[in-house]
């Protein structure tokens, strides 16, 4: 059994932007689609916090595929921060 800790995300892993609400996530997804030539639409996903049932305690994720590792992570981070979120 391996006890290795997973390393940082690689350039071919999807980028995940964490946003405070659905509207912000949908707006960021639209901005990403307009700004970058993406191979597919960003996915907007609700992520309930562990142990919480209340919709108010959910984060919204925008998952962006980057199979070629060409997206500018600084620009992705800026888009997320403009919407009061962050890039994971």
The DSSP line for 67-88 is TTS-S-HHHHHHHHHHTT-EE-
Q: Is residue 57 part of a domain?
A: yes
- Give backbone dihedrals phi and psi of 18, rounded to 5 degrees, phi first: -105, 125
Return per-residue pLDDT of the chain as tens, 88 residues: 444 433 444 557 899 999 999 999 999 999 999 999 998 999 999 987 655 555 566 899 999 999 988 999 999 999 999 999 999 9
Q: Is residue 74 part of a domain?
A: yes
Domain hosting 81: range is 15-87
Residues across the chain: 88
Q: Is residue 40 part of a domain?
A: yes
Q: pTM, whole model, 2 decimals?
A: 0.78
Region of residue 72 (left: phi > 0; alpha: psi -120 to 50; beta: else): beta
Q: Is residue 33 part of a domain?
A: yes
Q: Is residue 7 part of a domain?
A: no
Q: What's 66's domain CATH number?
A: 3.30.70
Q: Is residue 26 part of a domain?
A: yes
The total domain count for the chain is 1
| Helix, coil or strand: residue 22 | helix
Q: Is residue 19 part of a domain?
A: yes
């Amino acid at each position: 059994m391996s006890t290795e800790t997973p390393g940082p995300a690689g350039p071919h892993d999807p980028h995940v932007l964490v946003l405070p609400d659905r509207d912000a996530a949908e707006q960021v997804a639209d901005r990403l689609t307009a700004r970058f030539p993406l191979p597919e639409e960003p996915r907007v996903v609700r992520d309930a916090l562990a142990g919480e049932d209340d919709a108010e305690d959910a984060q919204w994720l925008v998952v962006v595929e980057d199979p070629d590792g060409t997206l500018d992570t600084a620009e992705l981070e800026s888009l997320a921060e403009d919407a009061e979120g962050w890039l994971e």
